[in-house]
Amino acid sequence: MGELLLKLFVKDYQKTDEPKVRRRYGVFGSVFGLVTNLLLFAMKITVGLLFSSMSIVSDAFNSLSDFGSCFLNLFGSAVSSKPADKDHPYGHERMEYIVSMLIGVIVIVFGVLLFVEGLQKLLNPGEASKEFPLLQAVILAVSAFLKVLQMLLYFYLGKKISSMSLVDSGKDARNDILSTVLVLVGSFVIYYTGFVQTDAILSMLISLYIVVEGFKMLLEAGNALLGEKPDPEKVKEFVGLIKSHPGVYGVHDLEMHSYGPNKLFASVHVEVDGTKDMFSTHEMIDDIEDDCLHRLHIRTVIHMDPILINDPETERVKKIVSESLTEIDPKLSFHDFRISRASNGRELAVFDMVVPAKDNEKKKEVRNKVIASIREKDPSLKPVINLDDEFTMILEEND
């Protein structure tokens, strides 16, 4: 069904990487939400006032807040699809996260107001209606059905274009389904038992759930704005693509960050044969960067680290270093390895080492142990070790 709707209402719907297509997805979802939420508000407010049901009136204003959220989504889609400009050189995609936070705030405010109303009704209950709540049941059942359609559509569209704001709208619709079903159940409980406080208790329970979900939306969007650790699967794919190119002998010091749901930037060090012609190696690096952009849509900057390939002395010293690290801690890793000569003629083993420890003193202690071990194996060697922060080596977890 979702595919059919996209074919009918979203031009070029397969090209989800293009900003204008992403905007069409957002507009389609928002317009659908505007129409259905306005219809839901009209139905619920009529029935709620007619039967003096506070929970239904609250549910009606929830639909009205969802109507406002759709306007926010519409605005967010328009802004996030704008190309980069002088003041925003990385584009405007992060507007989706800001919209998600605003939706979260709206959800929390509504939840708090609903709780207060429920508490007031609990303290001052009215009388139970003696009429069978048939009209209420029909309206609430129709409302739940429309919310199910909203939820499915928002989740589907959000997944297609990796839109946090659309996914959050889907979560909000899911909350509304729960609240509507509880209100429906409550109306029957009140009719058959006469326990009027049921309406207030259900409203308060719904409100607590809504507030919790609102805070979850805020945290998720806030984490995205602050900068989260990249998706391990995306890192695997990225590193695998780089390693698949002939002439790449190692990948390290990867940093990856996002400027929106579909805009990733990465910088990485790539080990290459130091004996090769510099111009041909530079061409290879350019090809890899283009490949990452066009195949994975990751804007990549590569720093090339020249190393000696098939050099007996380099391999001998490298083996000593590797054995020393393994003896001390198998989790230790190293890169950027090279050998050189000091001014006094002494052979230097220069490399970066990643120590899986947060304490700086602990890292220095491990480095001293490695230096002692290497010197014990070959007293003529002088290790020169640079300590690398573990967070820059996120691909170590994915090798």
Strands 333-341 and 250-258: unpaired
Is 261 or 240 the better-scoring residue by pLDDT? 240
Amino acid found at 305: D
Residue listed under structure tokens 């010293």: 317
Most distant pair of Cα atoms in the chain: their distance: 102
Work out the end-to-end distance of the chain between its first and last CA atoms, rounded to an integer number of angstroms.
40
The mean pLDDT of 374-389, rounded to a whole number, is 90
d(CA 364, CA 357): 10
Q: What's the mean per-residue pLDDT of the chain?
A: 83
Is 390 or 163 the better-scoring residue by pLDDT? 163
Cβ count within 10 A of residue 170:
22
Q: Which range has highest mean pLDDT (165-174, 270-279, 283-292, 352-361)?
A: 283-292
d(CA 88, CA 77): 16
Cβ count within 10 A of residue 198:
22
Full set of structural domains in the chain with CATH: 2-226 (1.20.1510.10), 229-306 (3.30.70.1350), 311-399 (3.30.70.1350)
Per 3-state DSSP, the chain is made up of helix, strand and coil in percentages (nearest 5) of 65, 15, 20
What pLDDT is attached to residue 80? Answer: 74
Rounded to a whole number of angstroms, the CA Rg of the chain reads 30
pTM of the model: 0.64
